Amino acid sequence: MSKLKNKLVVAGIYVIFVLLLIAIFYPIVWVFGTSLNPGTALLVSSMFPANPTIGHYVELIRQTDFVLWYGNTIKIAVSNAVLSTALVAVTAYAFSRFRFAGRKQGLMVLLILQMFPGFLSIMAIFVLLLQTKMLDTHLGIVLIYAGGAVSMGTWVMKGHFDTIPRSLEEAAFLDGATHMDIFFKIIFPLSLPAITFVALNSFITPFMDFILPQIILRSSDKMTLAQGLYNMVANETNSSFPLFAAGAVLVALPITFLYMYFQKYLIGGLASGADKG
């Protein structure tokens, strides 16, 4: 009886797993099929068109500012990944290795900040950038992204730093190493999973975010991919949905490859960040 029960449980898990896969991959396949539709309407009768074409991809690249949007997004994403990772690594190292007044309270503040949606501070961000003359600049949006990454990233990376034995640092101190030497020559190489996790998430954020760029970036030559694709659809009603689908596919491809390539580091970063708080 117990064996039958176990088999039913396993079968139920597989059924749930298959249903989740269908729910995840069906929209992806549908968007890809829409991007190959030779017409201008959304696919409603079949997942793939009878006469697929890559014409929308060609039109997207040649007749729109898609390449410019892509370049802007890559620029913001790389800058955000570098700055966010540096800020998070330094902050997490300080909280992990040093004992100072307000340390526990600071960690608690960072934890509480994660509970509030980012859009709650949109008006404050807008006024701040306006007063500092960084509105409608890529630097302004990079600074906002980097500041927002500190709260979650610090907890993830601190959890990983806590797992590194202090004896390694003590031995380095005896050999005359400074805190800077220890961080770059010992801590940093041993923390690649957590660092990769923070860097990759920071890199992908500008590809996925629409609200913040729409509010901060006003010039057409500074738009990101999400902003540009949305405005393209909004300005031309339904006639641009196949173009939008083609753009979505081109945006998703590099992100998918990055996740696949760094999968082991991402899993390691999540696991290590959960070891200690």
pLDDT at 276: 44
Give yes or no for a contact between 128 and 243, defined as CB atoms under 8 angstroms apart: no
pLDDT at 277: 43
Between CA 145 and CA 153 the distance in angstroms is 12
Q: At what angle do helices 241-261 and 66-97 cross, to 10 degrees?
A: 40
Give yes or no for a contact between 158 and 95, defined as CB atoms under 8 angstroms apart: yes
pLDDT at 270: 53
Give yes or no for a contact between 195 and 89, defined as CB atoms under 8 angstroms apart: yes
Between CA 202 and CA 148 the distance in angstroms is 10
Between CA 97 and CA 276 the distance in angstroms is 13
Which domains are seen in the chain, by residue range?
A: 1-53 (no CATH), 64-273 (1.10.3720.10)
DSSP letter for 183, please.
Answer: I
Q: Is 179 left (phi over 0), alpha (psi -120 to 50) or beta?
A: alpha
Extract the tokens encoding 35: 């991007």
pLDDT at 139: 92
- What are the C-alpha distances in Å from 84 to residues 150, 200, 211? 7, 10, 20
Q: Per residue of the chain (277 residues), what is the pLDDT tens digit?
A: 577 777 788 888 899 999 998 888 888 888 888 888 877 666 556 667 777 888 888 888 888 899 999 999 999 999 999 999 999 998 988 888 888 888 888 888 888 877 777 777 888 888 888 898 899 999 999 999 998 888 888 888 888 888 888 888 888 888 788 878 888 888 888 888 888 888 988 999 899 888 889 889 988 889 999 998 888 877 655 567 888 888 888 988 888 888 888 777 666 555 554 444 4
pLDDT at 203: 92
Extract the tokens encoding 83: 């700055």
Q: At what angle do helices 241-261 and 263-273 cross, to 10 degrees?
A: 70
Between CA 160 and CA 95 the distance in angstroms is 12
Extract the tokens encoding 43: 């696919």
Amino acid (one-letter) located at 144: I
Query: Exposed (0-12), middle (13-18) or buried (19+): which is 74, by Cβ within 10 Å?
Result: middle
> For residues 115, 265, 198 and 207, what is the CA-based torsion angle, rounded to 10 degrees?
-90
Between CA 37 and CA 54 the distance in angstroms is 8
Give yes or no for a contact between 129 and 140, defined as CB atoms under 8 angstroms apart: yes
